[in-house]
Structure 1
Amino acid sequence: MRDADLVPDESDLNQHLDALWLLTNGLGGYALGTALGGPRSRYHGWLVAASNPPVERHLVLHSIIEMVETAGRTQPLNTMEFGEAQTAHPDGWRRMRDRTIELPHTARWRYDVAGCTITRELHLIAGRNAVRIRYEIRGMLAQPTTLHLRPLIPLRDFHALTDPGWPDPSCEQQADRLVRIHRDKLGATIRFSRGTWRASPDHWRNFAYALDRERGQDWTEDVWSPGVIEVELPPASDQPQNVEVVVELTEPNLVDLSDTIRKANESTGRAGPGHDQTSTALARAAEQFIVRRRVDDRWSTTLIAGYPWFADWGRDTMIALPGLLLETGRIEEGAEALRTFAMHRRRGLIPNRFDDYNGPPHYNTVDASLWFCHAVGRLSELVDVPREQPELVEACRDILAHYERGTDFNIRMDHDGLIAAGNAETQLTWMDAQRDGVTFTPRHGKAVEINALWHRAWLVVAELMQQAGNHDESHADRNRAGAIADRFRKSFWWDAAGCCHDVLVERDAGTWVGDETIRPNQIFAASLTGSLLGEGQRRRIVQVVAQRLLTPFGLRTLDPHHPDYRGQFRGSLFDRDAAYHQGTVWPWLIGPYVEAVCRTPGLDPTIVDGARVLLDALMSELDRGCFGQIAEVYDGDAPHHRGGCCAQAWSLAALLQGRRLLLDRAAVAKVSDQ
């Protein structure tokens, strides 16, 4: 992805500071910054390394301050922001000519300076907690020139800012071009290919992080540097000159899975739905979320939920897995990810998320296990799961059995065969925002998508039993799914509104009343495989969702006419959590919406055509925001500013799945017309 025409000037500098790029290493580590190269958040930097992949992440290399000195004149390449006024400094942007992003690992910036062209290539090494920065100097230098490179090394937790009271890291030069740095239990090395090391510890002070400021967090930081690499560039040379700097996290763990990740990538060929240039780009973007986690004595596949701050969450992994792994041909890695979570299940629950600091998993979710069953069902469309992955069949059976008899967090099957869960203090569905003791979207009781997934899970198990040749069990499981569907239609259908209730709430013992809010969760009753609703009911759901919740970037989480609706995802963390599921748009819901459109006959043609337009709008987002990725959320109100994580796994998965569904629909229509 090349932005050759986007040379910054003072009139649009903020546009370039707002645009982001992301590189990843397959371990949960990443590099992230603005289009000008610098940071705009505590989570940004040129090397954020996962010391215990994919978690325990630390900011190792903040950036490198780059100065070109010729005849007593110093010209910088960087542009950062500093102080209360968020002043853009230095003015390296004036020399920048273009930038190129090559997902998943490489970014380049080209500068015209001192009569030559300097290209900075930043490359995250797959499978290692290391970044290689390569400088190529082309052109005839008229006078002796020195390239000054000052690495900024915070060595801190990526959630935190450097505390002014902390002692500086220690630094030791161990060879001509090898420097070791330590802070507490963290250690890093700086290696460089040419030049000399000048030890000169210093601080670059008062970095301003605009994105943290917008979120109501502390937003300024002083960052330490151990010294400067000085590279003399001779004049009158018409040969390209190169300098390489490699920064790597070496302690507490030196990780090298480069061969494992290379072989996995080579075996898949990075294919996506359609097998064209767009599909390849989407598959490369999908690769950024695929990471490794140690399970017992081996490494297994899992998915990062979103960059920069999420780790591997169960719900997010199960929802994104069909799009990011199965659609891109990474079948074995998909099965591996399912086995990873199956091995960690507890009383029928797979983890909601693994702990950021390697503590025990967190299990507070009612839907992750049901999404697990759905993902196993998608896998079974591609491979013989009972024969090749029998432990996944066992896990699905175990989940259904625990839900039937009741498990943690008051998750249980009620006497009517539907699933109820939680209480007023819990947040067990995907609408899980909770802060300072406030649960912003309480959905305890019988949630619509939970029971749609409950129905789907029984159909998955029925199909698995059919594959295994257990026809009697398969027949019994299908009958069970049919009984759930009958009760679902009687309990959830809201005839006055022409759609489904979002949740059933228990008013008196045994009396369940439908909540009268219009939310997008009902779309799963129309999108998931199986006859949960009649065709007419599915059409009405799609129509209501299209009329009340649909935007160019996803579905709103609440009808704008509702008094609790919040149209902007802005302000402090509390304010953002309050809006998170009260109107904020989520792109991942485009996936089930498009699936519902494709599965529902008799819809107005404008709705079907509109689904294609929606996917085109999401495709265009790949060139905005974070290059090659789609954000976590957007404002409910136009113009729908993006927010949350700059790159979200299930947002991209929705695009991959939706694109395949429309390609399949077009293929069927073409055959029908012949």
Structure 2
Amino acid sequence: MSYIHFDKTLMTNLEEALPKEILRSNRSGAYSCSTIVDCNTRKYHGLLVVPIPELGDENYVLLSSLDETVVQHGAEFNLGLHKYQGNNFSPNGHKYIREFNCDQVPTTIYRVGGVVLKKEKVFQHYENRIIIRYTLLDAHSETTLKLRPFLAFRCVREYTHENTRVNRDYQEVSNGIKTCMYDGYPELYMQLNKKNDFVFQPDWYRGVEYPKELERGYAFNEDLYVPGYFELKIKKGESVVFSAGLSEIKTTQLKQIADFEAKIRTPRDNFYHCLVNSAHQFYYHVDGENYILAGYPWFKCRARDMLIALPGLTLVNEEVEQFEMCMKTVEKGIREFMAGEPLSVKIHEIEHPDILLWAVWCIQQYGKIVSLQKCVEKYGLLAKDIMMYLSTSSHPNLKVRENGLVYAQGKSKAVTWMNSTANGRPIVPRSGYIVEFNALWYNALKFSEEICQMVGRKEEEAHFAAMAVKAEQAFKDVFLNQYGYLFDYVDEKDQEQDWSVRPNMIFAVALDYSPLSLPEKKTVFDICTKELLTPKGLRSLSPKSGGYNPMYVGPQVQRDYAYHQGTAWPWLAGFYMEACLRLYKKSRVSFVERVLVGFEEEMFSHCVGTIPELFDGNPPYHARGAISFAMNVAEILRVVKLIEKYDI
């Protein structure tokens, strides 16, 4: 049986099937996403969702869905599914689903009387094109297939409603049509690989609802425009391929493209391969540059996310070339930032004070996984320039103080990964000496010392070594409290020490170089285990600390206040497990494997085959936020590979 497989019992139960989503992307910013029963439950869902730079920086839903109808003996059986007002679903096509699997590509098997129809969906790499292949596995009489496209032509953050401005015109192209609902949008080409009849029957389907948006406190209904339907005969054993894209295609190539795209996919036949498959979906190539998207369906490329995720998404999968291409883009952005020049790359938040520290960490991972010699050759100069920039306090918001630690101002603007805001102010105003900033700073100093020693730069080696010694003592003096854990931040300006038990101290244990002694690291690790560890990651705040709010539910404002106040984050569990293996080595391998089990369960829930953004901090640990999150996938991948060094 397939690894990701759902039978008829689950697929016909909407309470169980609707929460399960499926995502495909094309590495150029476009994606296709819906539920496993093809009922859209978010405004972000759609068969073809693409970036249109001429209209803005968001993605745009062009083709919302495609309803299939099987016709036999004049009787029509509609396989589509939409939610309408009053918890009404129509036309209830899910009741015909026999099974769904996702080993190679998302595949749905329908049974309508004697008709057995297989549907496979692939998203073409680097092309804004969704391809759907229908194969008639069995039929006892003549069968007709009707395909009815539901069009939206809107931004993912907005809705479309019935209006008189819509352009109903269409033009025939090879085995299909092209149409465009509004000026400024690209033409949508819908074609099949065999001759068909397009029946022009324009209408609006009104009041389609998206329950996930209702759950999140947003508007949740829209009207979708249907220009008509495609009709064609299909024989037993025959495959028919439908394409929707932004350019016309030779329809004779559709079968070949569908075969090729399915063949090159990483099979989702086990936990590791699911993560690898998911990792590939974050790759983003545009205008000659390579990026990592922070997550789907709404995140762009963010500097911190990209640097933390890059080693796990590429290096551990032996995709060194992909790492190097992305780092080339990162280096361009970093050098432009350090030179005070406008950014030519599409990386957001590169000005945040910890970004350059994460860049050094990212380079360090390359040295560990590839080779330190090659690391120095490719990135030694970049690492050196970053460290000189930081050590001379050239960064506008990261200054090296007399005690050797780095200091950042975060009262008026969120500058760490805990970046939720309300009324323009940080909800968690972490400012001053921030614990993970200084753990990364110490690690970067020692790594720089290691590089200088390797290449024989004695004077620079001594310089970084002296700075590290100074920072090591100051780190303990500033952060280590009498209860054995670390202050989250200390602001000497306001004489403030944050006693909250937060997961940011785990970095002082997990990184290659730590300013803490072994007993101190074990105490910090134990407190993280007792107060922060859940089956879905580390809590962002201990239940024993004031302001604990673990349920990420309700309207936007309510969710913002819970975002970093007790919710659980899987990517932090990656560093936690690395710290565990670093401290206890082979004796804790079985423990780490048990922690990973909590994430393997996610391959069959929520967005199948990937890991969502965050979870509630209390049982039953519901998944929340973005349906697929790069840092989470990357860090779990990194640990899966890391554990192999100990599990022998």
1:242 paired with 2:226, answer no
In 1, are the aligned partners of 2:72 and 2:143 still within 8 Å (CA)? yes
Alignment correspondent of 1:132: 131
C-alpha separation between the residues in 1 aligned to 2:139 and 2:370?
A: 59
Aligned amino acid, residue 75 of structure 2:
R
C-alpha separation between the residues in 2 aligned to 1:139 and 1:540?
A: 64
Alignment correspondent of 1:226: 227
SS in structure 2 at match of 1:410: coil
C-alpha separation between the residues in 1 aligned to 2:190 and 2:372?
A: 47
1:452 paired with 2:445, answer no
Aligned amino acid, residue 95 of structure 1:
Y
Shift of 1:153: 2.0
Shift of 1:76: 1.2
In 2, are the aligned partners of 1:364 and 1:427 still within 8 Å (CA)? no
1:288 to 270, 281, 298: 281
Aligned amino acid, residue 521 of structure 2:
R
Residues 359 and 628 of structure 1: is their aligned pair in 2 closer, same or farther, counting only changes over 3 Å?
A: closer
Alignment correspondent of 1:428: 415
Write the deviation string for residues 402-450 of structure 1: whole angstroms up to 9, x where unpaired: 3334456532222222111124211010000114324211101111000
SS in structure 2 at match of 1:499: coil
SS in structure 2 at match of 1:226: strand
Aligned amino acid, residue 82 of structure 1:
Y
Aligned amino acid, residue 44 of structure 1:
H
Aligned amino acid, residue 171 of structure 1:
D
In 1, are the aligned partners of 2:146 and 2:229 still within 8 Å (CA)? yes
1:329 paired with 2:311, answer no
Write the deviation string for residues 64-84 of structure 1: whole angstroms up to 9, x where unpaired: 02122233422111222112x
Write the deviation string for residues 539-590 of structure 1: whole angstroms up to 9, x where unpaired: 0001000001110110000010223000211001111111010000001111
1:571 paired with 2:557, answer no
C-alpha separation between the residues in 2 aligned to 1:170 and 1:360?
A: 38
* Higher deviation after alignment, 170-179 or 109-118: 170-179
* Higher deviation after alignment, 335-344 or 589-598: 335-344
Shift of 1:399: 2.7
SS in structure 2 at match of 1:500: coil
Shift of 1:365: 1.6
Alignment correspondent of 1:190: 190
Residues 444 and 394 of structure 1: is their aligned pair in 2 closer, same or farther, counting only changes over 3 Å?
A: same
Write the deviation string for residues 29-56 of structure 1: whole angstroms up to 9, x where unpaired: 2111111112110111111123459964
Aligned amino acid, residue 430 of structure 2:
R
C-alpha separation between the residues in 1 aligned to 2:454 and 2:153?
A: 52
Residues 225 and 393 of structure 1: is their aligned pair in 2 closer, same or farther, counting only changes over 3 Å?
A: farther
Shift of 1:639: 0.8
Aligned amino acid, residue 147 of structure 1:
L
* Higher deviation after alignment, 436-445 or 467-476: 467-476
C-alpha separation between the residues in 1 aligned to 2:578 and 2:375?
A: 28
C-alpha separation between the residues in 1 aligned to 2:198 and 2:497?
A: 70
In 2, are the aligned partners of 1:409 and 1:422 still within 8 Å (CA)? no
C-alpha separation between the residues in 1 aligned to 2:355 and 2:164?
A: 40
In 2, are the aligned partners of 1:271 and 1:280 still within 8 Å (CA)? yes
Write the deviation string for residues 134-155 of structure 1: whole angstroms up to 9, x where unpaired: 111122333x443211111222
* Higher deviation after alignment, 337-346 or 314-323: 337-346
C-alpha separation between the residues in 1 aligned to 2:225 and 2:185?
A: 15
C-alpha separation between the residues in 2 aligned to 1:136 and 1:568?
A: 44
Aligned amino acid, residue 191 of structure 1:
Q
C-alpha separation between the residues in 1 aligned to 2:278 and 2:336?
A: 35
Alignment correspondent of 2:253: none
Alignment correspondent of 1:626: 607
Write the deviation string for residues 580-616 of structure 1: whole angstroms up to 9, x where unpaired: 100000011111101111111499x6x7643221111
Residues 423 and 4 of structure 1: is their aligned pair in 2 closer, same or farther, counting only changes over 3 Å?
A: closer
Alignment correspondent of 1:648: 629
In 2, are the aligned partners of 1:8 and 1:94 still within 8 Å (CA)? no
Query: Which segments of 5 or more consecutive residues in structure 1 lack a partner in the other structure?
Result: 252-257, 668-674
C-alpha separation between the residues in 1 aligned to 2:605 and 2:633?
A: 14
SS in structure 1 at match of 2:13: helix
Residues 159 and 654 of structure 1: is their aligned pair in 2 closer, same or farther, counting only changes over 3 Å?
A: same
Residues 5 and 359 of structure 1: is their aligned pair in 2 closer, same or farther, counting only changes over 3 Å?
A: closer
Residues 176 and 127 of structure 1: is their aligned pair in 2 closer, same or farther, counting only changes over 3 Å?
A: closer
In 1, are the aligned partners of 2:541 and 2:565 still within 8 Å (CA)? yes
Alignment correspondent of 1:29: 30
In 2, are the aligned partners of 1:313 and 1:354 still within 8 Å (CA)? no
Aligned amino acid, residue 314 of structure 1:
A
C-alpha root-mean-square deviation of aligned residues, in Å? 3.1
C-alpha separation between the residues in 2 aligned to 1:99 and 1:455?
A: 50
Residues 385 and 3 of structure 1: is their aligned pair in 2 closer, same or farther, counting only changes over 3 Å?
A: closer
SS in structure 1 at match of 2:644: helix
C-alpha separation between the residues in 2 aligned to 1:388 and 1:661?
A: 19
C-alpha separation between the residues in 2 aligned to 1:524 and 1:59?
A: 40
C-alpha separation between the residues in 1 aligned to 2:390 and 2:92?
A: 60
Within a 5 Å distance, the mapping from 1:468-507 to structure 2 comes to: 468-495=455-482, 497-507=483-493
Write the deviation string for residues 304-326 of structure 1: whole angstroms up to 9, x where unpaired: 11111112111111111111111
C-alpha separation between the residues in 2 aligned to 1:313 and 1:597?
A: 28
Alignment correspondent of 1:20: 21
Write the deviation string for residues 467-501 of structure 1: whole angstroms up to 9, x where unpaired: 43424423432332222112111111012x21110
C-alpha separation between the residues in 2 aligned to 1:3 and 1:87?
A: 29
SS in structure 2 at match of 1:21: strand
Aligned amino acid, residue 110 of structure 1:
I
In 2, are the aligned partners of 1:9 and 1:94 still within 8 Å (CA)? no
Alignment correspondent of 2:583: 600
Residues 350 and 78 of structure 1: is their aligned pair in 2 closer, same or farther, counting only changes over 3 Å?
A: farther
Aligned amino acid, residue 176 of structure 2:
L
The alignment's TM-score, normalised by the length of structure 1, stands at: 0.87
Aligned length: 632
SS in structure 2 at match of 1:377: helix
C-alpha separation between the residues in 1 aligned to 2:346 and 2:610?
A: 30
Within a 5 Å distance, the mapping from 1:96-495 to structure 2 comes to: 96-102=97-103, 106-142=105-141, 144-165=142-163, 167-175=165-173, 177-182=175-180, 183-187=182-186, 188-194=188-194, 195-233=196-234, 239-250=236-247, 278-294=271-287, 299-345=288-334, 361-383=348-370, 392-407=379-394, 410-495=397-482
Residues 108 and 21 of structure 1: is their aligned pair in 2 closer, same or farther, counting only changes over 3 Å?
A: same
SS in structure 2 at match of 1:637: coil
Residues 592 and 79 of structure 1: is their aligned pair in 2 closer, same or farther, counting only changes over 3 Å?
A: same
Alignment correspondent of 2:251: none
Residues 404 and 102 of structure 1: is their aligned pair in 2 closer, same or farther, counting only changes over 3 Å?
A: same
In 2, are the aligned partners of 1:305 and 1:313 still within 8 Å (CA)? yes
C-alpha separation between the residues in 2 aligned to 1:349 and 1:170?
A: 51
SS in structure 2 at match of 1:335: helix
Residues 615 and 29 of structure 1: is their aligned pair in 2 closer, same or farther, counting only changes over 3 Å?
A: same
C-alpha separation between the residues in 1 aligned to 2:437 and 2:430?
A: 11
In 2, are the aligned partners of 1:315 and 1:368 still within 8 Å (CA)? yes
In 1, are the aligned partners of 2:337 and 2:343 still within 8 Å (CA)? no
